[in-house]
Structure 1
């Protein structure tokens, strides 16, 4: 279910907020988390979800590493979810 995956995406990004991460990674994570939070809080059409999770995916692609192993694991999970959600229905 998309709503569950959106929530998991947000939860992974939100979990990085309390972890010590590199400054540049923090900026990308903050923006990605805000986009994911907005999607969780609002009901959006699937095309909007694809577009916005694509933005999250692009932001996360800019992060080479966070300097924190736990944060890196959350980023990896968030990348996978964002890619999955952004690609859904692309052939529709």
Structure 2
């Protein structure tokens, strides 16, 4: 159902690691990427999925700017995916 979007979420967050992002943002994004990788690769229940998406949403809310336009675009795309998935839960 959402496998492609979960994979896209992880890919967007992974791409931020390829950009020269601000140090604090990098730490938050690394944490969000780890959670996104877990949900993209695992077969988890809907309750756990909702919990982990909420975690990614919270982590991303800590990132105001990455100081890199490309990374900011990936963060925005990740936020949109998370918002859409949470609305469906």
Does the pair score TM above 0.5? yes
RMSD: 0.9
Post-superposition Cα deviations, 1:32-73, rounded to whole Å, max 9, x if no partner, equal 000000111110111111110110011001111000000000
Give the TM-score normalised by structure 1: 0.92
Q: How many residues align?
A: 89
Asked if 2 retains the 8 angstrom alpha-carbon contact of 1:49 and 1:86, the reply is no
Post-superposition Cα deviations, 1:13-46, rounded to whole Å, max 9, x if no partner, equal 0001110000110011000000000111110111
Q: Which structure 2 residues correspond to residues 1-92 of structure 1 after superposition, within 5 A? A: 1-89=1-89
Give the TM-score normalised by structure 2: 0.95
CA distance in 2, matches of 1:39, 1:74: 18
Can you give the 5+ residue segments of structure 2 that lack an aligned partner in the other structure?
Answer: none
Q: Which runs of 4+ in 1 moved over 3 A?
A: none
